[in-house]
Amino acid sequence: MSEMTERLILRPLTAEDEQAVHRLASQPEVARYMRFSTHTGRQETAAWLAEVLSPPDDRAFAVTEREGGAFVGVFLLKRRREPGQDGNEADMSYFSGPERWNRGYAAELLRWAKAYARREMDVSSLAAWVAAENTGSCRALARAGFTLAEKHRFDDLPGDGLYVYRCAL
């Protein structure tokens, strides 16, 4: 079932999206802010897709433009599955190619995600893990009503680590 925003269509991500996803995930400027390394071969993309498509209660979306249908990126909503958690929070992730950055798509997707997660996943909050250096995403999250809740440092991650932004629904 597809979802729509003002300028975008979100449809279920499938294995058939491998080529379009690989085109994005193989770009170092895209992968540098993600929890995956730059994909050097299609087998990495196929494995990544298999991983994100397997949990039955998670949502993986291909994002396309309403006008013209161009592939924009990937949007993921994953129910939190940590010990001691009640599963009432979802983590979200989004990536697109640099040619789609600074068009307001992230803000549009964040508004949609808040409504969708509340309505379809019955979660009470959303969390976004963002590389501290990804200032554009940090600004978009803050403008959408998310607050900086945690800061994490990792030895294998350069810079200031990861920020966790949260928003109550």
Q: Compute the C-alpha angle 46/47/53, nearest 5°.
A: 85
Q: Quote the mean pLDDT of the chain.
A: 92
Give the type of residue at 49: L
> pLDDT tens digit string along 118-157?
999 999 999 999 999 899 999 999 999 999 999 998 777 6
Structure tokens at 56: 């039955």
Report the run of H or E that residue 72 belongs to, with start and end.
Answer: strand 71-79
pTM: 0.91
Q: Give a three-class secondary structure readout of 135-152.
A: HHHHHHHHHCCCEEEEEE
Report the run of H or E that residue 65 belongs to, with start and end.
Answer: strand 59-65
Query: Over its length of 169 residues, how does the chain's per-residue pLDDT go in tens digits?
Result: 899 999 999 999 999 999 999 999 999 999 988 888 899 999 999 999 999 998 888 999 999 999 999 999 999 999 886 655 566 899 999 999 999 999 999 999 999 999 999 999 999 999 999 999 899 999 999 999 999 999 998 777 667 889 999 999 9
- Report the sign of the C-alpha dihedral through residues 85, 89, 90, 92, in that order: negative
Give the type of residue at 143: R
